[in-house]
Homo-oligomer: A and B are copies of this chain.
Amino acid sequence: MRIVYRFLLVCWLVTSKSAFAQNGIVVFQSDFGLKDGAVSAMKGVAMGVSPTLKLFDLTHDIPAYNIWEAAYRLHQTVPYYPKGTVFVSVCDPGVGTERHSVVLLTNTGHYIVTPDNGTLTLVAEHLGINEIRQIDEAINRLRNSNQSYTFHGRDVYAYTAARLASHTIRFEQVGPKLPNQVVQLPYQKAESANGIVKGTIPVLDIQYGNVWSNVPKSMIDQLGLKPGSMVRVQIFQNDQPLYDKSVTFVNTFGEAPVGDDVAYINSLLNFSIAVNQGNFSEKYKVFSGPEWRIVVSK
């Protein structure tokens, strides 16, 4: 009997919050750029909380005020860090207004410190919501910073993330628990019917000009596409058609001639299209965002 209790105790310990213990890693994202001292000051504040923290960057080149892209970059990157990692995302056009400052704990054990303005749209959907707490700024705010109204990123978000990541505070000490929901940005989800797959272009692979969709590999598999198959790809901005071609579906760019349009599955396992060693986005004036739609068929 005692053994059964012990077994249950172990189960409870393993599945409780302690399974999501912070690991001392903090990852920063923002739309601040790296040309001034803003990002560095956030890291200085974190070092002031605990010099044992390990600080990394996601990106600071989120286009100014582009909450959608902040949401997408988190979605793309968070899962590759170990559980217990604390992320800070500061893309905050409504700074000082009534949006909540929150910390989300995902079902995968990642913490995200951010204004709840849509930034959490995709991680909440894909990684799940374990718990959300509102930051109590009376407690979790850099000392002597209350004369300044505009730099929440440094004085509240970086400071709170560092305190959480360094076990200076427990998750419960962030502030009061909120309902398990976040502000959602509207966007077209991927759907498949009658051999036609529809989706959006959430983001470009900027460095190369490749176009990434939100259509998962599984829907493409259902179309029966195989490496070497031809696939028809149509792209619309709102309702205006901008691209309509049959292109080769490849496993790797090496399978196609340089300069050819090719379709492929990207590193996030989504359907994508590129000019082999060229720039698809520039060539066809195709960009990203909720107003861009893609239609894929055999």
A interface residues with partner B (beta carbon < 8 Å): 23-25, 27, 31-38, 40-45, 47-48, 51, 54-61, 64-65, 73, 76-77, 80-82, 85, 93-98, 147-151, 154-155, 203, 205-208, 217, 251-255, 264-269, 277
- Select from chain B the residue with minimum beta-carbon distance to A61: B35
Ranked 8 nearest A-B pairs via Cβ: A96-B252, A97-B254, A151-B267, A37-B77, A44-B80, A44-B81, A33-B207, A41-B80
Give Cα distance in the complex from A101 to B58, angstroms. 26
Copies of this chain in the oligomer: 3
Main DSSP-derived SS at the A contact region: loop
- Select from chain B the residue with minimum beta-carbon distance to A31: B207
CB pair B252 A95 closer than 8 Å: yes
**A207's contact among B56, B64, B94, by CB below 8 Å, is which?**
B64
Within 8 Å CB of A40, what residues of B?
27, 56-59, 77, 80
Please indicate which of the listed interface residues A25, A51, A97, A151 has the most CB atoms of chain B within 10 Å of its own CB.
A51
Within 8 Å CB of A32, what residues of B?
207
Within 8 Å CB of A93, what residues of B?
253, 277
Give Cα distance in the complex from A191 to B62, angstroms. 37
Give Cα distance in the complex from A16 to B33, angstroms. 39
CB pair B147 A85 closer than 8 Å: no
